[in-house]
A and B are shown apart, each in its own frame.
Chain A
Amino acid sequence: MGLKDGPRSVSGIAQPIKSVAQRFAFLALLLAALALMILGKVDSALMERVRVNVTDTVAPILDVISKPVETVNQLIEEARDLYDLRDVNEQLKIDNSRLLQWQTVARKLEAENKELRNILSFVPDKEARFVTARVIADTGGAFANSIILNAGEQAGARKGEAAITGNGLVGRVAGVGARSSRVLLITDLNSRIPVIVQPGGIRAIMAGNNSEQPRLIHLPPGAIVSHGDRVETSGHGGAFPPGLPVGRVSSVDEPGITVRPFVDRTRLGYVRLLDYGLAGIVETPPVQSGIAAAGKRRPQPGARQ
């Protein structure tokens, strides 16, 4: 880049011309920024592509510089774990005895389920595949909630896939480059997830609003939702597989119903991208091509774990 100084001793005529030219260039840049904003509103797919390509270029750098932070973080986490060892152990013992009971119940149900499926000749859902990726950037700021992962098309990430952790849903893959991808978090203003509130099976849409607690909207009239209810993906709209844990209803009052997600954004180190062979919601490419692409990928299980 030519950050060259202009000659300081310019003649009396050249100076005003230069200043006018600079002013004009400045205005042109301002207008260009505005034009880009408007273009982004008109053609969001184009801008997403630009975003993905630029991100892809610097992904290796982000990957490298985010590693030491990750390591330090792990050390802190480990120290904290050591400190809590006794309490956690106590808690685990209690959990374990409870889970053993659940295991018995689950075994019984599994056997029963299998039997019933045999009777009905039930066609099971396809097995989902995973790509595990590291979070290399957490886009700071109050205006957007997204993360960048170090897995892209080469690793098998696809647009529209659900990003999850062991705790629950993180978000949706909004853009995929060759070696990086961007995940729109469920808290983002533009995130709309079809969910189901349990118990009761009430359908709703969980809409992000850039705060830490998304809201539930479009509930059926007369639906009763109470504090602490569990929110899961419903699988409607073909975006996500049904039953992914999302969060718990945290408040039900006049301005609306809010949900506290199970996933803590600040703790995100690794996430899994879940390929369920479904086309994403509000996708730009037509739905058929999404399914076809997913179908084509199926015969190569080596590419995924």
Chain B
Amino acid sequence: MKPSLWQRLDILVRKLTPFLLTLALVLLNVIPLHIPGFSRVVPLLPLMAIYHWAVYRSELFPAYAVFIIGLLHDVFTGAPIGVNALMFLLVYGVVVSQHRFLFGKSFSVIWIGFGLVAGAASALTWVLVSMWNFAVIEPSAVYIQFLLTFGLFPGLAWIFMRWQRAFLRQV
């Protein structure tokens, strides 16, 4: 039996949710929280999201969606446009290529994997932005940002897992 229009629409919307949720995180990332010292080290929420979807449902999150998320992140954060697009794509590419290894592994392995990938991405971003500006950027904020991003990953992953179970099971 052919699914009705509404059913197809419903599935399409569900398929779009990983992208839309990540988009929301990009905006959430720049909302001023007024916590002293926090704005310089805010965790990279979009990076967590991209890693998560690349591990679990990369077919719902194609490379060009990653590119768009990266560009928007650059636009809003004031970073050189293209830096995070490049970085998110690299993270996505690495994860997708390691899909066979990561598939079905326990969460702690996924988390450690995130630490490695995010750490490498932070370091590379630091190098790229420093080169772009012809100046060495103070690395301490980058380091703290990485630690926060790493530490908060399970929280976001948990929310996304619930989401997957609730809305993406049949999609």
Chain B 32-75 against A: per-residue CB contact (8 Å), 1 yes, 0 no? Answer: 11111111111010000000000000011111111100111001
**Taking the complex as formed, is B132 at the interface, i.e. its CB lies under 8 A from any CB of chain A?**
yes
Check A26–B89 contact: CB distance below 8 A. yes
On chain B, the residues within 8 Å of A301 by CB distance are none
A-B contacts counted at CB < 8 A amount to 178
Tell me the complex Cα distance, A37–B70, Å. Answer: 12
Check A34–B138 contact: CB distance below 8 A. no
B75 CB to closest chain A CB, in angstroms?
A: 5
Check B32–A137 contact: CB distance below 8 A. yes
Instruction: Pick the most buried of B27, B64, B72, B77: most chain A CB atoms within 10 A of its CB.
Output: B77
Number of interface residues of A (CB under 8 A): 61
Partner of B15, one of A3, A34, A143: A3
**Taking the complex as formed, is B76 at the interface, i.e. its CB lies under 8 A from any CB of chain A?**
yes
Tell me the complex Cα distance, A58–B129, Å. Answer: 25
On chain B, the residues within 8 Å of A54 by CB distance are 72, 75
Tell me the complex Cα distance, A54–B27, Å. Answer: 12
| CB-based nearest B residue for A53 | B75
Known: A65-B27, A73-B34, A139-B77. A189 touches B89 (CB 8 A): no
Interface residues of A in 119-159 (CB under 8 A from B): 135-148
**Taking the complex as formed, is A11 at the interface, i.e. its CB lies under 8 A from any CB of chain B?**
no
On chain B, the residues within 8 Å of A250 by CB distance are none
On chain A, the residues within 8 Å of B72 by CB distance are 54
**Taking the complex as formed, is A32 at the interface, i.e. its CB lies under 8 A from any CB of chain B?**
yes
Chain B 87-130 against A: per-residue CB contact (8 Å), 1 yes, 0 no? Answer: 00110010000000000000000000000000000000110110
On chain A, the residues within 8 Å of B132 by CB distance are 37, 40-41
**Taking the complex as formed, is A5 at the interface, i.e. its CB lies under 8 A from any CB of chain B?**
yes
On chain B, the residues within 8 Å of A260 by CB distance are none
Check B32–A69 contact: CB distance below 8 A. yes
Chain B interface secondary structure, helix, strand, loop or mixed? helix
Interface residues of A in 52-91 (CB under 8 A from B): 54-55, 58, 61-62, 65-66, 69-70, 73
| CB-based nearest A residue for B32 | A138
| CB-based nearest B residue for A184 | B78
Chain B 1-38 against A: per-residue CB contact (8 Å), 1 yes, 0 no? Answer: 00000000000000110010000000111111111111
Tell me the complex Cα distance, A37–B125, Å. Answer: 12
Tell me the complex Cα distance, A35–B83, Å. Answer: 10
**Taking the complex as formed, is B161 at the interface, i.e. its CB lies under 8 A from any CB of chain A?**
no
On chain A, the residues within 8 Å of B85 by CB distance are 29, 32-33, 36
On chain B, the residues within 8 Å of A144 by CB distance are 77-79
**Taking the complex as formed, is B157 at the interface, i.e. its CB lies under 8 A from any CB of chain A?**
no
Check B135–A32 contact: CB distance below 8 A. no
Check A65–B28 contact: CB distance below 8 A. yes
**Taking the complex as formed, is A236 at the interface, i.e. its CB lies under 8 A from any CB of chain B?**
no
| CB-based nearest A residue for B93 | A26
**Taking the complex as formed, is B80 at the interface, i.e. its CB lies under 8 A from any CB of chain A?**
yes
A210 CB to closest chain B CB, in angstroms?
A: 5
On chain A, the residues within 8 Å of B31 by CB distance are 62, 65-66, 69, 137-138
Check A140–B86 contact: CB distance below 8 A. no
Q: List 6 A-B contacts (CB under 8 A).
A: A1-B16, A29-B67, A37-B128, A69-B31, A189-B135, A266-B39
Residues in B lying within 8 Å of A, measured CB to CB: 15-16, 19, 27-42, 44, 59-67, 70-72, 75-83, 85-86, 89-90, 93, 125-126, 128-129, 132-133, 135, 137-138, 141-142, 145
Known: A26-B89, A40-B132, A141-B40. 15 other contacts (CB 8 A): A3-B15, A25-B63, A30-B89, A33-B67, A34-B82, A37-B128, A47-B81, A51-B75, A51-B81, A54-B72, A141-B145, A143-B79, A146-B78, A147-B32, A266-B38
